[in-house]
A and B are shown apart, each in its own frame.
Chain A
Amino acid sequence: MRDLYQRLTLSPSANHQEIRSAVARCPNSALRQDAEAVLEIAERREAYDTLHDTVSDIGRLRARLGLTHGAHWQGDVANDFSLPPDNAISRHDELVDRVSHAVSLYNRWRRWRGPWLLITVFASGAAIGLAMGFALALGLALG
């Protein structure tokens, strides 16, 4: 399984016209014949694209998990679908971080007696509003 798009320097979303011109420009006759047979016929291209998506997903997974040199990842596939290791951190570590963060937030909330804090803030807001209302009414009466 080779990545024909990469070998023809195309994007996988290239339209029919772009593919035709890229195939015509390609100097390698074997590759040209294969690309003509696969990419220029709609139903074959569809089948190829589905597999291409899956294999590029696997390539991305392997890059993130450090498996780009596995015993089962050899030949054309490994050449065409291996990505450079990106610096995405481990999803599991990230999950653990987020859970511990959520836990610490929750604990802080409990410690500060969150509900009471909320009620106090609401009450003081109401008191300030009342005071402002009184002041306005007084001003109107005097004026």
Chain B
Amino acid sequence: MSIARFSPFELLLLKSRSQVDTATLLLLAWVLVHRQHVSEGQRRRRLAQVTAQFRHGHELGPVMSIAHSQDLQAIQLAAEVVRKECSKERSLSVIHQAITVATDDGEISLANHYILRFLADLLNVVPNTLSTLFQELTGKPLQSPEDPSRDAYWQRHDPEYHARKAREAQAAEQRTKDAQARAEQRQRAKADKQQEKQKRQQEKQRQQEEARNAKAEAEQARARQEQARQHERARQKRWQQEQARHEDARRQYRQRASSPPPPDRTTRALAVLGLTPGASRTDVRRAYRRMAQLHHPDRFYTESEHQVALASARFQRIKNAYDYLMQTY
């Protein structure tokens, strides 16, 4: 049956001549640690100055080091001691000291905003009293803390905010330009290929025609030799074959039409939405929303009918692209 070791702050508290003073000292040191733009020596001097009347009877160094280590249990213990032992007047004086330690001229760090308010709640000091006290001590009203989880805060406090935005925009522009160039190149390559294909087809047709001509001449020669009936039958047969071949070709054509379109269609649909290949579903949805808002025909209602018609054509194209992407993506 052994007891856990006593933590440094517990030992300090046990050795102290006045527990409230030691606990208050730790809370003030905690506030000081979160004060910005002061050196360690300044912090210690300020702490010694504010707590000159305290009767704790030990060094300030250990308290400062405990506060620096952000030991939550020690702070909780100190808060409990302070809450248990402080009368109303003493509470006000603790808040007074905390404000003095936190700021000289009303400039207070964000963390200290929350710490001061925590202390006020701990010591049952209502918001009105706190703000009055703050105003009296610093000459400035106690503002509500700013919110660094918002874009607006950084717009105000980050001197590089606009430079960074511009850089990002430039990078995005460069990226879209690259993507456009790539798409153009691809289209040009496709056009070239098509031309080549057409040429090849023409050549083949020509060859076929020649062959057919030669064959027809041969047939004529043979037909002159053969009897009319045979000739008739042969022609009928050929006609049937032709028909069958036509039928075949038509079927093939239909098959080709119903087979899945080339993956290039995805790229084109993405380009319609102003996206590059590799965009995610979320990106597609977002881009569609933006484009739909931009090109909705109702927006052009006040302008000419022609404008509305153009817009509805654009809108239709965007919607088709979006529908297609939503099906395949």
Is A bound to B? yes
In angstroms, how far is the closest chain B Cβ from the Cβ of A10?
13
B213 within 8 A of A: no
Best-surrounded residue of A25, A64, A91 (most CB of chain B within 10 A): A91
- With an 8 Å Cβ cutoff, the count of chain A residues facing the other chain is 42
Complex CA–CA separation, A25 to B118 (angstroms)? 35
| B242-278 interface bits toward A, Cβ cutoff 8 Å, 1 = contact, 0 = none | 0000000000000000000000000000000000000
A130 at the interface (CB under 8 A from B): no
Q: Which residues of chain B (76-128) have a CB below 8 Å from chain A?
A: 76-77, 79-81, 83-84, 110-111, 114-115, 117-118, 120-122, 126-127
B interface residue count range (under 10 / 10 to 19 / 20 to 34 / 35 or more): 35 or more
Nearest B residue to A50 via CB reads: B111
Which of B38-46, B67-75, B173-181, B187-195 has 4 or more CB atoms under 8 Å from chain A?
Answer: B67-75
| A95 nearest CB neighbor, chain B only | B10
Determine the distance from Cα of A47 to Cα of B109 in the docked complex, in whole angstroms: 12
A123 within 8 A of B: no
A residues whose Cβ falls under 8 Å from a Cβ of B: 1-4, 24-25, 33-34, 36-38, 41, 44, 47-48, 50-51, 54-55, 57-58, 60-62, 64-65, 67, 70-73, 76-77, 90-92, 95, 98-99, 101-102, 105
- Contact sample, A vs B, 29 pairs, CB 8 Å cutoff: A1-B148, A2-B149, A2-B150, A3-B149, A4-B149, A34-B149, A34-B150, A34-B151, A37-B150, A37-B151, A38-B154, A54-B111, A54-B114, A55-B114, A61-B75, A61-B118, A62-B118, A65-B76, A65-B83, A70-B117, A71-B120, A72-B121, A73-B117, A77-B114, A91-B77, A92-B80, A92-B81, A98-B3, A102-B3
